[in-house]
Structure 1
């Protein structure tokens, strides 16, 4: 027999001063909860709350990796647009221009990808060193 979950239909509306809200927001950010409502329910119902310890240096690494991923996505999108354009003008007088553009784009793309791979490898080395130190 399946247990059906009842919808949450009751609301609690609380007004807070900006300082009070900031305190609650800061505590919420230190937990594993994804939504403030989950966190609030657990606090009000006195359930267990898991607080995480965040390493600031690792946050910086993750932010850098996120930026690298965005850059890679932008590069990939630009390259795909150029290839799509080349395929659409094949056999036309402009095709040789687009082919030259693809070569130029590829030449710019390769060094960027190499740089990103090197950075990711550096970060992986940092993580693995930190993990091995923590295990000892």
Structure 2
């Protein structure tokens, strides 16, 4: 199999130095803070060559929501693991008494899962109202 040739980019041989006022510099700095590469030269090159400049906006109010979603995910996963372990025990023993015991244990875990799912749905509906109303 032959190796594909890399796309040749033109060499950037020329250095251009300009001076700008504080207002324009702060405007560029604001764009740079939301831009992924975080290099002023790359940002200015994208602007000069009319390439798209992607600006990422971070909403600090979502940090708490994301932590809550992560916590709920971990709790739901732990309950799911417990239910899987109980189910494995249920299927291991043929005696009806043991099966009844494991069925009760699994039902208790299922009941513990319900409030977590309700809480998760509330958070999702709040996010939907916030982001899908536009």
Number of equivalenced pairs: 99
What are the superposed Cα offsets for residues 31-85 of structure 1, whole Å, 9 maximum, x if unpaired?
53xxxxxx5xx749x4338553311112332232222222222222222121122
TM-score for the superposition, normalised by structure 1:
0.54
Superposition RMSD in Å: 3.2
Structure 1 residue runs without a partner (length 5+) = 6-28, 33-38
Using the alignment, how far apart are the partners of 1:52 and 1:61 within structure 2? 19
User: Rg: which structure is higher?
Assistant: 2
Instruction: Give the Cα separation in 1 of the matches to 2:108 and 2:100.
Output: 13
* Corresponding residue of 1:3: 5
**Contact (CA 8 Å) 1:65, 1:120: kept in 2 or not?**
no
| Alpha-carbon distance in structure 2 between the residues aligned to 1:80 and 1:30 | 44
Q: What is the CA–CA distance in structure 1 between the aligned matches of 2:42 and 2:130, rounded to whole Å?
A: 36
Question: How many angstroms apart in 1 are the aligned matches of 2:112 and 2:105?
Answer: 11
How high is the TM-score relative to the length of structure 2? 0.55
1:36-47 to structure 2, matched below 5 A, reads: 39=37, 43=39, 46-47=41-42
